[in-house]
Structure 1
């Protein structure tokens, strides 16, 4: 038997217990829980085949009562002796995408981010579009290109057209960017035609992950009118390997910023689902931004309510993300397009002036949240490195 030692100050203490999918040289992917510097194999520790699968979906679909019972069992288990065969060193495992992604929706819930982009793209107009404070704006992404942290990202190719170009050209993106976000994973779905009200958020959402919604700003700028993001977003979205359960975030709950005008009734929250989460964005090892999630205008409960209010169904494994997390200060902006003000104000990264991502660059996003008794809950990180484009770097023009 093994007694797991949790180092003082570990972001993966007993109050956290995030779920992930891992493998070892001798066994394939299965579900585990992170405790300190160890991972507990739940199929072995709890003698339950639902955890012997390569994703969390089957367990998540069992619902909030089962989630609570399992969390209680794991808490009791890891505070005592755990079977030796159920314990692995976190540094010696391979982590996988923790859930099978159903649908993927990305929102635009930061007023600071939306206002900054409005000032960049529409300097002579109001920063926010007329609908922005009435509903959580979002778009449907591509579930098949959601990848786990550590997956290399190939620079995307597509059409670009600057105002100075007489016609569009094709080639690799020259303005490759990141978006530091928080994502939410649906555990229990909903039938077609039945919206999920704000107050039922915790009955459906299993937990949260970190998200980097990689963005090709030049491709996006040319294509997004009139239907919104497409190829500029769909090439890759990275998520962290550990899913922090909602139960672990109880001490992080806070009110959203004041919402004026008052939202329509279906978006009004009886209990606030704002979250006090601190993020850190590192570019080639240097922290360049610390976005605060507590400043997000729309809460995840409001996002889910809006996503389903038209009767759209939700499914186990659906992922919806917050959109870029940005605060009021320059060093709190969660995208490089904001940090460099469209490339006009370069950052110094390891002594070099930088604007957008170059081949070989690596970005890591980490986050923590308040836990009990002054502790911190960790999300781990979502990390990705840029590889050169696989398309010909031609300069073909549309004809």
Structure 2
């Protein structure tokens, strides 16, 4: 669930192929691995019609929530030629970001924050795009052509294309699963005008397994292979701009940015090896930060802590909303002081979450003693409703 911004690079050449296509593909694979990609596959543009139909159904049922960019110009997503009519081959690439420790262990440390594995290091969009551009430049220099590169930033259905290119298959949790890397792959795409040899599509290896579906804290999967983003913790903590809906707050636990439960539950992860280089690895300070420390971040400190991190894009206010939900779920009364202090925050989203956290941590009479005075002073209706919800 990462940010959407322009992610296209045009690299042009005369548009002819002098090398044998099979040899070019072999050289391309060697160059990709030298640049740090762990897998590569090639497919043709018109291979994801079925996935396109599922995507249109997803949009029609409103499963995308407030992610309006997904519903914008769907024809550009359901077929790569809708985005670029000249594309002849789609090169799909993956980078293993398998964690070096159990990502679910942090959920038992209720006074610490759980940040999704992919967001514990530098923003993968920037890291992977640099590699993609380098590979695209090599391709253009080796076989003059036109190319465009994408990293989860444009109207590209990366996961169905990755399955068509034999990198893995879309599991029941709708994420890509690899027999080599489990559920831990960053994906990138290169569209090219070259006609390159295709790989066969990967088949589904999920079988009767339901581990990813059954572990979901908010029942975000109405059926296998179908996601209702409006119930997904990644959506709720990242894309959702308003208050966290009441019905999901307890289930969020201490997850303050994203959720790894369905990924971590996948049995295919047993074949995955931790493959992140140092520059793709987790920062120590983001592995299990204290909720109390995060609650004290002002805007400048927030930006400093999350420089180059995807977390930075949600902003300090939404981030503190998430931290306060986690504080409310911590069961640690000492953290009530942090929530009390944030009752005076300038942002109503933060104040409202602070009210909820206090309602979870304080005895009823203590909370009600604060309530009447707070209602008299609070100008924002959404925050007033948080105070009134305890009555």
| TM-score category (smaller protein) | under 0.3
Query: Normalising by structure 1, what TM-score?
Result: 0.26
Larger helix fraction of residues: 2
Larger strand fraction of residues: 1
Query: Normalising by structure 2, what TM-score?
Result: 0.26
